[in-house]
Amino acid sequence: MHQNQSIPTITVKKLAEYLIKDNSELQLIDVREPEEVKIAHIEKFKVFSLSKFPEWSQTIINDLDFDKETLVLCHHGVRSAQVCFWLLKNGFINVKNIEGGIAAYSLIIDNSIPQY
Residue numbers annotated as active site? 74
CA distances from 37 to 3, 7, 58, 70, 115 (A): 24, 24, 22, 19, 11
Question: Dihedral sign, CA of 45, 62, 49, 57?
Answer: negative
Q: What is the DSSP letter of 51?
A: G
CA–CA distance, 73 with 2 (Å, rounded to integer):
17
CA–CA distance, 49 with 70 (Å, rounded to integer):
16
